Chains A and B, each alone.
Chain A
Amino acid sequence: MKWRNRGKPFAIVVTILLLLFILFPFFVMLSTMLKSGQDVYTSPPFWFPKKVMWTNFIKVWTEYDLLGYFNSSLIIAIGATIFNTLLSVPAAYAVSRLRFPGRKTILYMFLVIQMFSPVIVVISLFKIIARIHLLDSYWSLIITDTVFTLAFTTWMMNGYFKSIPIEIEEAALIDGCTRVQTITKIMLPIAVPGLVTTMIYTFIYAWNEFLFALSFIQSKPKMPLTIGLYNFVGRWSTQWQYLTMSAFLALLPVLLLFYVIEKRLVAGLAGGAVKE
């Protein structure tokens, strides 16, 4: 939409004000993460640290077990990403390319179960995880994160496979490729952008997951970032300079990854009405 020049400066001013408003907590984060403990607990508070504490950046690794939390999050997120890919890609290929009785039902099922809330099943999942002796293990989260992203990633990959012209595959089949070969040698290389999207999606989901980790993980060395940071808070005096510094470091990787998939994610969710 082209605005006449009169409206444009006004719109830009509104945009800037809105951004200041929306990004407020992140300004607070940036302000707090470089303060000293004394500055943090001064009332009334102030925006700019009296003395910039660059050492906070080091202290979160040495005095708090941030490295351990990062390590756990990474293991869980990578594990979930691998399993999710191994399960979702073949399933997506089947529903997008093969004809079989029950195809519609399965497709419908994948769409509907994306919406299920983990909270509904967390009670019974807890019992199942306990019965297979996986409480307080990385596996408990790798499995649940895989399961709760599976419907969406299968759905996304299904859309991706469908957008690849079927002629390419038919040509390969006529040339004597087997089905499996056409999948691994033809379809997957073309579908790399879709694959990257679903993998990043799963990774971010697992990295940010809170509820299952809260319910299944008890021992400190196995805690992922979300739970590790959550345990910072709520103690008698939270050292917010370290918490905000850790939050900043924990957010950075997922923020960057999110920008890679953001457009395809919106398109996938909004149902093809939106162009990438």
Chain B
Amino acid sequence: MSSQAVVIKKSKLLNEEARLAYILLAPAVIVLVAFMFYPIIYVFLMSFFDTDKLGRLRSFAAFKNYKVLFQTKDFWTITGRSILWTVIGVTTKTLFGLIIALLLNIEYRGRKFARMLFIIPWASAVPISAMLWQWVYNPEFGLLNFTLQATGIWKNPPIWLGQPISAFFACMWVDIWIGIPFMSLVFLAGMQAIPNELYESAYIDGVNSFQKFFYITLPGITELIMIATLLSSLWTFNDFNVIYILTKGGPGGATDILITSVYKNGFEWLKFNIASVMAVVTFLILAIVSIVYAKIYFGRERK
């Protein structure tokens, strides 16, 4: 009898707690539903309809838009390029990040200052950085080509944003440049968490620097590398600002990736149905990667 009373009291308490939780969560959830979930659902809906130039739904088209898009060669080129963009971007960011983290992990005076300087590209506003780079890349008056020529590093530098291949790599580099600091900081923090005794005993055993790196440092931050590269691949894949500001996807579509193509199809060419199909494809790719990230994140929290 008494135990039953306790159970009732407890469940009543739980209810009260749950009610408070729902009240506290309600505003955030309502806003997210209205301005995030509803728009996503609407994009899914739009992808199954014919739309007019104002983006209004005209008639149900079933999978017609998907068929049209999947049959255009451009779509596959752009998808392939998005994957290439992400793979090159994330790999290069990771390599630079590792090198810089290793350099910042050495003790010397001014290390903190160097760390601060390395952060600047991440701390800056992406759109503004992209505009600065546009000026840097200027073929006639820009200081990049001038410096390359003056120092003899590259006698005939390309007109960076004017030709398809160089434009792709020029955009690629700006995206990489923005993403390096995050990688460096995460890896550095990971390296600093590795107990010093490991290095000391390795020193006694006469291990050289390369062995130290491959047998102690790298295994110590493997999990972090996974999380950081996953996050970075989402950001890289999503990088709209750099490409749009530098080239708008040009010249001749040579720098378009899915994310810029969605925007251009919608806001410039007013093909809202095609834009939404692309958005759906992009969404599905991102959702898969996000769920993997969440799984790893929760996995490590439980430990």
A residues near B, CB below 8 A?
A: 1-3, 7-8, 11-12, 14-15, 18-19, 22-29, 31-32, 40-47, 86-88, 90-91, 93-95, 98-101, 103, 106, 108, 111-128, 143-144, 146-148, 150-151, 154, 179, 207-208, 210-211, 215, 225-226, 229-230, 233, 238, 240, 243-244, 247, 250-251, 254-255, 258-259, 262, 266-267, 269-275
Contact = CB atoms under 8 A, between A and B. Distances in A.
B214 interface: no
B39 interface: yes
Interface of B: 14, 17-18, 20-22, 24-25, 27-29, 31-32, 34-36, 38-40, 42-43, 46, 55, 99-100, 102-108, 114, 116-129, 131-136, 140-144, 146, 177, 180, 182, 185-186, 189-193, 199, 203, 209, 212, 217, 223-224, 227-228, 231, 234, 237-238, 240-241, 245, 259, 262-263, 266-267, 272, 275-276, 279, 282-283, 286-287, 289-291, 293-294, 296-298, 300-301
B135 A244 contact: yes
A99 B18 contact: yes
A90 B135 contact: no
B282 A106 contact: no
Point out which of A98, A117, A118, A229 has the most chain B C-beta atoms below 10 A from its C-beta.
A117
A151 B32 CA distance: 9
B120 A26 contact: yes
A124 B280 CA distance: 12
Nearest to B202: A1
Nearest to A266: B185
Contact of B35 (A3, A11, A144, A233): A144
B291 A112 contact: yes
Contacts of A42: 141
A266 B31 contact: no
Contacts of A233: 131, 134, 245
A274 B287 CA distance: 25
A122 B208 CA distance: 53
Given A98-B21, A238-B135, 10 more contacts: A1-B191, A18-B100, A28-B144, A29-B132, A31-B143, A112-B287, A123-B275, A244-B132, A251-B125, A266-B185
A42 B32 CA distance: 51
Nearest to B276: A123
A251 B17 contact: no
Contact of B126 (A179, A208, A229): A208
Nearest to A14: B103
- A interface, over-half SS: helix
A121 to B, nearest CB: 4
14 contacts: A1-B191, A1-B212, A7-B209, A28-B136, A91-B29, A117-B283, A121-B43, A128-B34, A147-B35, A225-B125, A267-B189, A269-B186, A270-B227, A273-B300
B117 A19 contact: yes
Contacts of B231: 269
Contacts of B102: 1
Given A43-B140, A270-B189, A147 B36 contact: yes
A275 B193 contact: yes
Contacts of A28: 132, 135-136, 142-144
B174 to A, nearest CB: 9
A266 B188 CA distance: 11
A163 to B, nearest CB: 13
Contacts of A151: 32
